[in-house]
Amino acid sequence: MSEYQTKNLMKKINYKNFPDKNGYFAEFGGKFVSETLMHPLNELLKSYNKIAKSTNFRNELKKELSQFVGRPTPIYHASRISKELGNCNIFLKREDLNHTGAHKINNAMGQAMLAKSMGKKRIIAETGAGQHGVATATACARYDLKCVIYMGSKDIQRQKINVYRMKLLGAEVISVDSGSKTLKDALNEALRDWVTNVDDTHYIIGSVAGPHPYPMIVRDFQSVIGHECKKQMKTLFNKKPNILVACVGGGSNAIGMFHPFLNEDVDMIGVEAAGLGLNTGKHAAPLNKGKPGILHGNRTYIMEDDNGQIESTHSISAGLDYPGVGPEHSWLKNNNRVKYVSVTDKEALKAFHYLTEKEGIIPALETAHALAYAFKIAKKLNKKNILINLSGRGDKDIDTVALLNRIQV
């Protein structure tokens, strides 16, 4: 067995049976929200359970994903870097080729259709890198829903292009100036909006975070990634992946790829953002450095100080710049089912350039974290099939990268 062997063969857990009816993955998850949100969350769960069973809904979603989003996304065998890095086969699940350029649209479409079926007229969402905001604004344009996006003022600065895209799509982008002015504060503000406008508004959370049933709903809509991977690896390459690698901020692209494989003989690695380094305090790696606590409606690993106040985070990528993580990841960590590692800003940036130059694919900076770790292990392993979730494209990050390289675009 390799040192990357993360599956726990001793424990026979059927991962498909979680969360339980109270929204828990063992001790993680739950519904830590103010009273006003309990009712809308219960309503959401009821509506979701109904549509999840409906053949009509599933067929409709499948059609939308195929004709509007462009699924299935291909798996690409990155033969040049596979050869250069050693003796492994590196495969890329091309979520960057989705409409709007990232995996976020899978969930946005599903939830927009769910909102429509619930009779909601208005959609709100939080966004960090802007990818979820763009995906939500796109789905809202498609379904004629009013759209309001909350975004930290710091993120607005570093993701200007996505802000403009959202506006073009008809969304109102509200700048959030409280707290650390990033994703976590945008989420706070979206929750406040939802409490105030519960009657006509659906909140599309963009990650597998938040109170139950969100971590489950978002995971289910993202699981299309893993289901496709299973089929494609077999039909296109006649291979089974040995190791899955994905980056983890809130963790939706990772859980989407991992979940269909959890009960199978596959190793999995989630890569967090180590920022300037795990020991500098300037990172966004709660699974590596945090402790279980409560944030944004669920119990999960978080970054906090000795008084239980949430700490501010740092990552080169806005999409990973979050002090919490989806509760299911916390559970998978404690079960030793998935191994969670981290990659620094520098390493991610290096991987960003490497993939761009060697394979002609510009990855998102978030995704570059998964790539950096996968490249590292590819050098050490022999004849393994490493499947990486190429969760998004890097066009949105061009300004950030240029700035870091001291280049004026």
Partner 1 sequence: MNRIKSLFQKKRNDGKSVFITYLVCGDPDIKTTYNLMNIMVEAGVDIIELGMPFTDPIADGPTIQKGVERSLTKKTSLKDIFDVVKKFRKKNLHTPIVLMGYMNPIEKIGYEKFSLLSKNCGADGILIVDSPPEESKKINKILKNKDLCQIFLASPTTEQSRLKKIINSTSGYLYYVSIKGITGSKINNYKTIENRVNQIRIMSKNKIPITVGFGIKDKKTAKAISKFSDGIIIGSSVVELIEKNIHNKPIMFKNMKNYLKNIYKGMQNR
Q: What is the DSSP string of 43-107?
A: HHHHHHHHHHH-HHHHHHHHHHIIIII-PSPPEEE-HHHHHHH-EEEEEEEEGGGSTTSBTHHHH
Q: Give me the torsion for CA of 387, 106, 98, 401, rounded to 10°.
A: -80
Nearest-approach distance from CB 288 to partner 1, in angstroms: 19
Tokens standing for residue 278: 């795990």
Pairwise CA distance, residues 187 & 113, whole Å? 21
Closer to partner 1 by CB, 101 or 297: give it. Answer: 297
Q: Which of 114, 176, 109, 173 is nearest to 147 (CA)?
A: 173
Q: Which is nearer to partner 1, 256 or 286 (CB)?
A: 286
Provide, rounded to whole angstroms, the least separation between the CB of residue 293 and partner 1: 5
Min separation Cβ 67 and partner 1, Å: 37
* SS3 per-residue string spanning 303-355: CECCCCCECCCCCCCHHHCCCCCCHHHHHHHHCCCCEEEEEEHHHHHHHHHHH
d(CA 343, CA 349): 10
**What is the C-alpha to C-alpha distance for residues 88 and 6, in angstroms, rounded to an integer?**
18
Smallest distance from the beta carbon of 118 to partner 1, in angstroms? 15
- 104 given a catalytic annotation: yes
Q: How far apart are CA 85 and CA 377, in angstroms?
A: 9
Identity of the residue, 197 or 356, whose beta carbon is nearer to partner 1 in the bound complex:
197
Please state whether the peptide bond connecting residue 213 to the residue before it is cis, i.e. omega within 30 degrees of 0: yes
Cβ nearer to partner 1, comparing 130 with 323:
323
**Which has the closest alpha carbon to 204: 106, 150, 131, 136?**
136
Whether 3 is a known active-site residue: answer no
Q: CB 143 → partner 1: shortest distance, Å?
A: 24
Q: Which is nearer to partner 1, 35 or 144 (CB)?
A: 35
Cβ proximity to partner 1: between 97 and 310 the closer is 310
Given the rule CB under 8 A, which residues bind partner 1? 22, 30-36, 38-40, 42, 178-179, 184-185, 188, 191-192, 195-199, 293-297, 299, 302, 304, 306-310
Rg (CA), the chain: 19
Catalytic: which of 82, 207, 342, 391?
A: 391
Q: How far is CA 64 from the centre of its chain?
A: 21
Which residues, 6 or more positions from 331, have their beta carbon under 8 angstroms from its beta carbon?
A: 18, 25, 26, 27, 28, 29
The burial of 36, by beta-carbon neighbours within 10 Å (0-12 exposed, 13-18 middle, 19 or more buried), is given as exposed
Is 50 known to be catalytic? no
Q: Six-digit token pair at 96? A: 């960057």
Q: Say if strands 172-176 and 87-94 run parallel, antiparallel, or are unpaired.
A: unpaired
- CA–CA dist 187, 214 (Å, integer): 13
Q: How far is the CB of 309 from partner 1 (least distance, A)?
A: 5
- Nearest distance from residue 212's CB to partner 1, in Å? 10
* Cβ(282)–Cβ(305) below 8 Å: no
Question: Toward partner 1, which CB reaches closer, 302 or 364?
Answer: 302
Closer to partner 1 by Cβ: residue 192 or 350: 192
**At its nearest, how many Å lie between partner 1 and the CB of residue 294?**
5
Query: Among residues 126, 311, 328, 347, which one is catalytic?
Result: 126
Which of the following is catalytic: 7, 93, 104, 120?
A: 104
Query: Is the distance from CB of 126 to CB of 189 less than 8 angstroms?
Result: yes
Active site residues per annotation: 104, 126, 391
